[in-house]
Chains A and B, each alone.
Chain A
Amino acid sequence: MEPVIIVKNLVKQYAFYRKEPGIKGSIKALFYRKKEFRDAVKDINFSIERGELVGFLGPNGAGKTTTLKILSCIVERSGGSANVLGYDPGRRQPEYKSRFAIVMGQKDQLIGTLPCFESFKMVQALYGISDKVFTENLEELVTLLDVRDLLDIQVRKLSLGQRMKCELIAALLHKPEVLFLDEPTIGLDVVAQKSIREFIKHYNQKNKTTIILTSHYMEDIEELCKRVIIIDKGSIIYDGQLSDLIKKHAPYKLLKVTFTQDITREQLAGLGEISEFQPYAATLRVRREEATKTAAMLLNAGLPVDDLLIDEVEVDDVIRTIFNEKR
């Protein structure tokens, strides 16, 4: 399949100034400021095929949002090339803008002082959506996100979760082929997070929309993305299947055991590395290929085992390990 997003040697530099502390520094800065540059994105390469839902991971300031901003015509790149749906985002062509959308969890696109329906009407006008298509799309999205009762309420009176649902509707009314989601679940409670996640999953599967998703919540990534791109300090440090990442960087599994009565650490000696211990429960890290054997040993060791679970390592931990290894 042909990729719809191709990024080659992409670079973005931001300029900034340093100021010495205190009044002296302020006066000095009036006459002379030293300009410095920071690489937000350093020579990154990736391509994404139509219909893929790719997770973009990385700590704050890693370059995830900057990459999305470049791809969505918001900021200009300093070097390299980008191509989305055959367009160069740097040229900011209206034809391209009609075919993608971006939702930023920390930025409001709706007009706070008006009911969200008014913002939707403005989106309709801006994108030149016909009344028929507008009504059909709005009806579908309103039903899926269950926000029918919210359409005539002032946006600023809505909860964060409700607002994000309406932001998604505003972004999807023109049926974009590519969707950039930057922290769409940030600050939401678990129920709202889940509902947004389920919507994204459904929408991607039904419409084959190509989606890049950044999120700090691993549940979002685990549930939605088969493929992840990990970016740190402006460079890509991993691009591949999430399952391969876990296998590669977490060559162990977790044995989570609860006991009917208190035991001591010594009683677990030799079974594996104890990562968590309480007198009535413990978590052991064992090599992936030895997990079943160790579980059997644990059950036959004469310990008062109440329950035993063989679990994968949290993706969050895997990512943290990768970042720690790189530093």
Chain B
Amino acid sequence: MNRYLAIANTWWQRAFNYRAVVFVYRISDLIEMGMLLILWTALYRTTPVIQGMTEHEMITYVLVGGLFYEITRNFSGDEVDRAISSGSLSSFLVKPMSYFRYYLSMSFGRSMHTALALITRLIILLILHSYLTTSVTLSGVCIIIAMLFLGYLTELFMNYLVGMTAFWTEETAPFYNTYRNLQKFFAGGYFPLVLLPAGLITASYWMPFAYRYFVPMQVFLGKTDVFTGIRGIAIQIVWLFILYGIIQIVWRRGLKKFEAVGR
């Protein structure tokens, strides 16, 4: 356990060296959140309810859902990509610890970024608290916590997978952009999934992404039952096993390609 804490601690310290980066990320988040609020407020001027959601529910969806999304987000795949393309992965391959475990510890350490994000998000929630609404129960809170934790792990696993594309290509940005856009869409990060056709809603329930934003928000707003929540958690767990299996296969294949070029 000590080794994992030591790695997390090192990365926690490193995160302090990139204050400017953390700050710019926060600004970018606030801009996006502001745009969504302006858009929805404008749409609600002509109608009090959109697809069964009131204006206050929608504002809650944007603000609290954004917070959930932020908690489960990470950018650690960039480190995998950088390690592979720069060749610095070599220095991990010679260490008596699996790189995946190192990656998990590092990501928890990097959660310093998330901690800062939470502070800004919570301040905004406090300022706009009169616009918020909730019908969450105690069991709902437990389901949300479990979903967010599993959603965080899913995002870590997915980022690791995308980062590993660096074994085959020098330019990984297109893969990240495609993945991030798709997962944000299916998470309900651009708009609530209730606005989608029924087929796509069903499909998104079978994918792991909706459990980072849309589904926990449905629980928070009291729009879904406990059973759907528990089924969602089961789907997330199955996905984690599937992703872990894929990671092992891709890693083994990738290492065969790895030439440790660079610096």
Chain A residues in contact with chain B, CB under 8 A? Answer: 14, 69, 72-76, 92, 94-95, 97-98, 100-102, 104, 106-109, 111, 113-114, 118-119, 121-122, 124-128
Whether B17 sits at the interface, judged by CB under 8 Å, is yes
Using a Cβ cutoff of 8 Å, how many contacts connect chains A and B?
A: 75
Whether B47 sits at the interface, judged by CB under 8 Å, is no
Q: B96 and A126: CB pair below 8 A?
A: yes
Whether B93 sits at the interface, judged by CB under 8 Å, is yes
Q: A128 and B3: CB pair below 8 A?
A: yes
Q: A111 and B94: CB pair below 8 A?
A: no
Of residues B2, B7, B258, B260, which shows the largest number of chain A Cβ atoms within 10 Å of its Cβ?
A: B260
Q: A74 and B93: CB pair below 8 A?
A: yes
Nearest neighbor of A154 in chain B, beta-carbon distance: B17
| Contact residue among A72, A107, A119 (Cβ-Cβ distance under 8 Å from B87) | A107
Whether B45 sits at the interface, judged by CB under 8 Å, is no
For the complex, count residues of B whose C-beta is within 8 A of A.
Answer: 27
Q: B96 and A74: CB pair below 8 A?
A: no
| Contact residue among B17, B97, B255 (Cβ-Cβ distance under 8 Å from A113) | B17
Given contact pairs A76-B256, A114-B10, A122-B7, A97 touches B17 in the complex (Cβ within 8 A): no
Q: A118 and B10: CB pair below 8 A?
A: yes
Q: B263 and A76: CB pair below 8 A?
A: no
| Contact residue among B14, B94, B259 (Cβ-Cβ distance under 8 Å from A72) | B94
* Chain B interface helix/strand/loop/mixed: helix
List the 4 shortest-distance A-B pairs measured between CB atoms, nearest first: A125-B6, A94-B96, A125-B3, A97-B96
Residues of B within 8 A of A100 (CB): 94
Chain B residues in contact with chain A, CB under 8 A? Answer: 2-7, 10, 13-14, 17, 87-88, 90-91, 93-97, 102, 255-256, 258-260, 262-263
Q: A113 and B14: CB pair below 8 A?
A: yes
Residues of B within 8 A of A107 (CB): 87-88, 90-91, 262-263
Min C-beta distance of A105 to chain B, whole Å: 11
Residues of B within 8 A of A104 (CB): 90
Q: A118 and B260: CB pair below 8 A?
A: no
Min C-beta distance of B105 to chain A, whole Å: 9
Given contact pairs A74-B260, A107-B91, A107-B263, A121 touches B13 in the complex (Cβ within 8 A): no
Nearest neighbor of A12 in chain B, beta-carbon distance: B259
Min C-beta distance of B171 to chain A, whole Å: 14
Q: How far is the CA of A208 from the CA of B3 in the complex (A)?
A: 29
Of residues B3, B4, B5, which shows the largest number of chain A Cβ atoms within 10 Å of its Cβ?
A: B3
Q: How far is the CA of A126 from the CA of B91 in the complex (A)?
A: 12
Residues of B within 8 A of A122 (CB): 6-7, 10
Residues of B within 8 A of A94 (CB): 96-97
Q: How far is the CA of A107 from the CA of B93 in the complex (A)?
A: 13
Q: A98 and B96: CB pair below 8 A?
A: yes
Nearest neighbor of A100 in chain B, beta-carbon distance: B94
Given contact pairs A113-B14, A121-B6, A125-B7, A69 touches B96 in the complex (Cβ within 8 A): no
Min C-beta distance of A209 to chain B, whole Å: 16
Q: B2 and A125: CB pair below 8 A?
A: yes
Nearest neighbor of A115 in chain B, beta-carbon distance: B13
Known A-B contacts: A109-B91, A121-B6, A128-B96. Give 16 more (CB < 8 A): A69-B90, A69-B260, A72-B93, A74-B260, A95-B96, A97-B94, A101-B94, A107-B88, A107-B263, A111-B10, A122-B6, A124-B6, A125-B3, A125-B7, A126-B3, A126-B97
Residues of A within 8 A of B17 (CB): 113
Nearest neighbor of A107 in chain B, beta-carbon distance: B263
Q: B10 and A75: CB pair below 8 A?
A: no
Q: How far is the CA of A298 from the CA of B263 in the complex (A)?
A: 53
Min C-beta distance of A100 to chain B, whole Å: 8
- Enumerate 28 A-B pairs (CB-CB under 8 Å) in ascending A order: A74-B260, A75-B258, A75-B259, A75-B260, A76-B255, A76-B258, A97-B95, A97-B96, A101-B94, A107-B87, A107-B263, A108-B91, A108-B263, A109-B91, A114-B10, A119-B10, A121-B6, A122-B6, A122-B10, A125-B2, A125-B3, A125-B5, A125-B6, A125-B7, A126-B3, A126-B96, A126-B97, A128-B2
Min C-beta distance of A72 to chain B, whole Å: 5
Residues of A within 8 A of B260 (CB): 69, 74-75
Residues of B within 8 A of A109 (CB): 91
Residues of A within 8 A of B91 (CB): 107-109
Nearest neighbor of B258 in chain A, beta-carbon distance: A75
Q: A74 and B95: CB pair below 8 A?
A: no
Nearest neighbor of A78 in chain B, beta-carbon distance: B256
Residues of B within 8 A of A119 (CB): 10
Residues of A within 8 A of B5 (CB): 125
Nearest neighbor of A92 in chain B, beta-carbon distance: B93
